[in-house]
Chain A
Amino acid sequence: MTTGQDWRGVAAEEVDELPERVGILLRARSRRLLRSLLRPYKRGLWVAAALVLAQNAATMAGPWLIGVGIDTGIPALVDGDWTPLLLVVGALLSCAAADGVLRTVFLIRAGRIGQAVLLDLRRRVFDHVQRLSPAFHERYTSGKVIARLTSDVDALNDLLDEGLDGLVTALLSVVSIGVVLVLLDLPLALVVLATFGPLWLLARWFRRRSYAAYRRTREANSSLIVQFVESLAGIRAVQAFRREPRNAAIFAELNQDVRQANATSFRLLALFVPGVAILGTLATVIVLFYGGHRVLDGDLKVGVLTAFLLYLRRFFDPLQDIAMFYNSFQSASAALEKLSGVLEERSELAEPADPTPLPAARGDVAFRAVRFGYRDSVVLPRLDLAVPAGQTVALVGATGAGKTTIARLLARFYDPRSGQVTLDGVDLRQLPDADLRRAVVLVTQENFLFSGSVADNIAFGRPGASRAEVVAAARAIGADEFIQALPEGYDTDVRKRGGRLSAGQRQLVAFARAFLADPAVLILDEATSSLDVPSERLVQRALRTILAERTSLIIAHRLSTVEIADRVLVLEAGRIVEDGTPAELVGGEGRFAGLHRAWRDSLV
């Protein structure tokens, strides 16, 4: 069953095909990233390279020493002289010991560097991703973030694993043996050097094709991960609506994409590596034939030709190692390109270069001529609003009137297109992130709980809070009772016990978390929607004390929440159409009065 790609839907941000010029820029960017990752370990890498060389010397010495043993040791032994043989044996033993020690030290050192680089890369990407705006995450999706931080990072791991020892030995062999070849016999060496032309062409072909192939691999992988993650995250809906077969069909397609992409790059390698080998064989055969003739002509000594042939093998074998390394490098480059892409992503909510610190905000909030919209729509044409410190403001209005947008702007999830949002007179864009987040907290319906205990989740509002403070916060908003009733009370693991907190209970935990954070400005966006009436009543009672000395913005469809507000704003199409105390508005003849009547009627 083919599904086509219709299910993906259309979004504005997609750029699939890249022009060649951009491709070059991207490659340069990913190389820059690799260099900057390796820079701190330059010395370590040199040491590791030296270790490989030393170890290789120790290994190579073996056959030579045996030759010496046979040539000089045996005749001496026949004469009854053990010395040369024992010397050789001693040298062989020390070579073996050196080999073992150097190998171990190298592997451990190189491993340490590789792991340090990976850790550094993980830290960079994770830290950066977290600082990007909610708008970025909405567009990018968590599955892709996961793909970047798992399978793309692993591609670099492969390079580091594959790499260093093979590459160093190979490069050294190629260079030194190349020199030896030239010294042995120039015409024959020229024959060998002539293969470098086709070799270069082959490498160029491979580079171009494999780069494209690995890019595809990365993309296919990340689509697969997105599908995997999303279908498991939404498994309830998947099963309840029998989406399994449809999902399986989509997954099969993505899975085949990954397989195809991998197959393409493997096939390229399947041509490239033997290609290099064939060139080596060609050179050998020509040398054999041409050299043989020259020996017969008396231009060349037999010994030279023999030596040349033996060295030639050692010249082309390492070239294959280099080819393999190059392949891992190409794969890692494609991954690094994706990673550097994320790293280059500038947060639309960048920290100011020259921030205005606001360590203890009072909570004066103002929107000045704020204009905002998503994509090409305009949600808030021009909003002017001043909320003095300590005031509790309720936002009321139909879906799409812009309530949530106002909440998000105040929490600086987005920046206004024009105008400014200020806290204590300071533009939010001028505030250091830490100060802003300490002062302003947004609680939404989406009550994300992190793995860990209930207490940990509440303490998320103020890391380092004592158990007593956590319990006090829970008690203040009326969550203590249900938490105590959990199997392990505050220590109950919210994930392991399987999302078993109900939506309402999660809202209570989120409330306690916000309460513990103790911000100057608290924004509640539909934060009580899943509570039953008594719980909501408890929360409201708590809110009256909690909100007394802080600025707050409350969005709730239930007007009962609105009644604890000092001031009600009725929004329509992004404009404030009514503004007053609840009593004033209820008593008046405006929209709110109408809404209120409708709501009273609905209560029965």
Chain B
Amino acid sequence: MSGDQRSAYRSLWRLRSYARPYRALFAVMTVAALASELAPAAIPLIAQRVVDDAIATGDRGALLPLAGLALALGVLEALAVMVRRWVMTHSALGVEADVRQDLYGHLQRLPIAFHDRWQTGQLLSRATDDLGTVRQFIGFGLVFLVVNTTVCVVVGVLLAFSYWPLALFVLAATVPLVVAVRRFELRYSRVARRAQDLTGELTTNVEEAAGGIRTITSFGRQHLVLHRYLAEARRLRDAQLVKIRVLAYFWALLEVVPQLVLTVVTLGGAIAVANGALSLGGLVAFVSLLLLLQWPVASLGWLLASAQEAETAAERIYEVLDTEAAVTDRPDVRPLAAGTGRLRLEGVGFRYPGTDRDVLHGIDLDIAPGETVALVGATGSGKTTLTALIPRLYDVTAGRVTLDGVDVRDVALAELRRAVATAFEEPTLFSVSARENLTLGRPDATDAEVAEALRVAQAEFVHDLPWGLDTRLGEQGLTLSGGQRQRLALARAVLGRPRVLVLDDPLSALDIHTEALVERALRDILRDTTALVVAHRASTVLLADRVALLAGGTLVAVGTHSELLAGVPAYRDLLAQESDLEEVAP
């Protein structure tokens, strides 16, 4: 990414597709801005006429129309300002909302692998701060950039007509300005980008501190975390100060150059007048015109700054929008064959993007319709990764997964994920109502279905919450116990009877009593649902018809629990607690 490309406002230009629906409004804004710039210029002229015509000639009758004209112009100016601002609420805010919606939608589609890499804080700052910067530019900066440039050109032409030798000099004076502008753009885009990146980092920092607050509190590490945050905040401050400095020098230059030009014009003009090459009135007119340029030139400072910031912000937004959703529907999706849920893994391998090691390789497993297979393996052996391949949270990097004979990558994601439901080991709960937490992607689930799911998962405690199913669960449902959360996650998975159930250690946080109840209810469901169940305990394994043992990234043994117990020492080590227990028991 070279500076040259950046200064070309490439990313901002790409946003034009979002601006297109509002292009008429943008035109209105520009015209209104132009009108509100020009109207006040006429007021002094009217005052002039009042003094020169009406008063000098003693014509009382001329006073009223002139006053009326001044009023009309004033009202026109006010109206123009109002129209521009009012229209902006449709156009710029509209673009902002449209881009934000697309950004959010896109983020939801991006694969888990993307979210593994990107921190929420960085993404949030793009959807809020950066988008706000873009909105400000297209709402104000852009319009005035156009208007002020127009004013400059018009005044420049008028200057040329009024006395060309001086005008030539004024033109020459723009050369250093143009050079300064180029330099400024290069430097400013760099520092602006840095400040935006640091803003994202800082947001990430906040996000982490807010998310990890219980760990921080428990260890009493507020100081440490505050210290880290402040270090980051100081880096941001320093970056902002660099930005301010760059802008300050540029801005000062923009103030000084016109003044210098004015000085030279005064000198040259005075000489010209003294030589009789220019009339006194001509000089006055020339200087007055030149003064009109002062504001448009000075305002270039913040206009270009805001343009640069909008460009780097747009760049950051496109970094996300340009990331392709790697796990997505293929163009020729096939419907899922009617079937009862035969799940096959054929030579499945997986490697996380950006790494050079297979987490899983050569996995073959055939799960018959209605069969339940337990997946057993040591901590970190890849069990959870394997389960994520079935609903395509990740795509396999070798081999294939088929459901009822169809490669899962050939099925529409929505259809696949309707057929395959997962209960994650860490139950993710949102701060919305309990019902919403249960139904997630199925807002149309009936009350009966919800009640049934709650019953199966032994999660009927939900009915006893203060507002029953309408109770808003706190963030991550922390007022619930670990067991309660796990049962909610289970209820969510069994809701609507999916074809395939993937349960990641579904009973780990349950006490013995509840575990027995859940187990009993699960058996009913598992009897005719194909299921892959990650298990650490013998009790969970017993839910399954067969067991697959995962070690070294591949399946080393498949069979019934008792077969493996008898014939596979590694399996015995993983599951049999007795020996150790005897030794521990007092």
Residues A404 and B481 in contact in the complex (CB < 8 Å), given A107-B244, A240-B422, A451-B208: yes
A107 touches B247 (CB 8 A): yes
Contacts of B451 in A (CB 8 A): none
| Inter-chain contact A62/B424, CB cutoff 8 Å | no
Given A126-B209, A399-B484: A104 and B78 within 8 A (CB)?
A: no
3 residue pairs, one from A and one from B, having the closest CB atoms? A437-B220, A281-B74, A498-B116
Task: Assess whether B63 is interfacial by the CB under 8 Å rule.
Answer: yes
Q: From B390, which residue of chain A is reached at the shortest CB distance?
A: A240
B121 → chain A, closest Cβ, in Å?
Answer: 8
* A interface residues, how many (CB within 8 angstroms): 192
* Contact of A240 with B393 in the complex, beta carbons under 8 Å: yes
* Assembled-state Cα–Cα distance A104/B539 (Å): 74
Q: Which of A374, A441, A499, A510 contacts B479 (CB 8 A)?
A: A374
At the interface, yes or no: B6 with Cβ under 8 Å from chain A?
Answer: no
**Chain A residues in 8 Å Cβ range of B431:** 141, 143, 226, 230
Q: Which A residues lie within 8 Å of B538 (CB)?
A: 602-604
Q: How far is the CA of A598 from the CA of B318 in the complex (A)?
A: 58
- Whether, in the assembled complex, A537 has its beta carbon less than 8 Å from a beta carbon of chain B, the answer is yes
User: Could you show 20 A-B contacts with beta carbons less than 8 Å apart?
Assistant: A74-B273, A111-B244, A137-B475, A142-B207, A151-B129, A228-B123, A239-B108, A242-B414, A244-B108, A270-B86, A399-B461, A399-B511, A400-B484, A451-B119, A496-B117, A500-B116, A505-B380, A530-B536, A602-B516, A602-B537
Residues of A near B418 (CB, < 8 A) are 242
- B523 sits at the interface (CB 8 A): no
Q: Is the CB of B417 within 8 A of A138?
A: no
Is A533 touching B213 in the complex (CB atoms < 8 A)? no
Q: Which residues of B contact A285 (CB under 8 A)?
A: 67-68, 70-71, 74
CB <8 Å contact, A281 and B512: no
Interface of B is mostly: helix
Q: Are A103 and B252 in contact, with the CB atoms below 8 A?
A: yes
Report B22 CB to chain A, min CB distance, Å: 13
Could you say which of B54-62, B145-153, B167-175 contacts chain A?
Answer: B54-62
- Shortest CB-to-CB span from A415 to chain B, Å, is 13
Asked if A101 meets B206 with Cβ closer than 8 Å, knowing A242-B417, A295-B55, the reply is no
Find chain A residues with CB under 8 A from B263 CB.
Answer: 89, 92-93, 96
CB–CB A141/B475 < 8 A = yes
Judge whether A529 and B508 touch: CB under 8 Å: yes
Q: A10-B470, A231-B108, A557-B511 are in contact. List 15 more A-B contacts (CB 8 A).
A: A10-B433, A99-B252, A99-B256, A111-B244, A137-B475, A143-B431, A151-B129, A233-B120, A270-B81, A275-B78, A292-B54, A399-B510, A497-B352, A499-B116, A501-B380
Segment with Cβ contacts to B, from A22-30, A167-175, A303-311, A383-391: A303-311
Question: A126–B203 contact, CB under 8 A?
Answer: no
Point out the residues of chain A lying under 8 angstroms from B575, CB to CB.
Answer: 533
- The B-contacting residues of A in range 404-444, CB under 8 angstroms, are 404, 411, 413, 433-434, 436-438, 441-444
Which B residues touch A559, using CB under 8 A? Answer: 512
Q: Mark B183-207, 1 if CB is under 8 A from A, else 0.
A: 0000000000000000000111011
Please measure, in the bound complex, the distance between the C-alpha atom of A248 and the C-alpha atom of B274, giving whole angstroms.
74
Encode B93-133 as 1/0 by CB contact (under 8 A) with A. 11011001100110111001101110111011101110010
Interface contact A73-B270, CB-CB below 8 Å = yes
B9 interfacial by beta-carbon distance below 8 Å: no
Which of A41-49, A191-199, A255-263, A356-364 touches B?
A255-263
Q: Which B residue's beta carbon lies closest to that of A397?
A: B511
Residues on B with beta carbons closer than 8 Å to the beta carbon of A252: 101
Complex: A190 Cα to B351 Cα, angstroms: 81
Q: Are A103 and B440 CB-contacts (below 8 A) given A118-B237, A130-B213, A463-B221?
A: no
* Interface: B331 (CB within 8 A): no
In the complex, residue of chain B having the shortest beta-carbon distance to the beta carbon of A525: B482
Q: Choose among B109, B249, B467 the residue that contacts A10 (Cβ–Cβ < 8 A).
A: B467
Shortest distance in angstroms between A379's beta carbon and chain B's nearest beta carbon? 10
Most chain A beta-carbon neighbours within 10 Å: one of B73, B212, B215, B435: B215
Looking at B12-20, B154-162, B228-236, B365-373, the stretch in contact with chain A turns out to be B228-236
Chain B contacts of A100 at CB under 8 A? 252-253, 255-256
Indicate if the CB atoms of B85 and A448 lie closer than 8 Å: no
* With contact pairs A7-B436, A146-B206 given, residues A115 and B237 touching in the complex (Cβ less than 8 Å): yes
CB of A250, distance to nearest CB on chain B (Å): 9
The answer on a CB contact under 8 Å between B210 and A534 is: no
Contact of B393 among A236, A309, A487 (CB under 8 A): A236
Residue of B nearest to A432 (CB): B220
A437 in contact with B218 (CB, 8 Å): yes
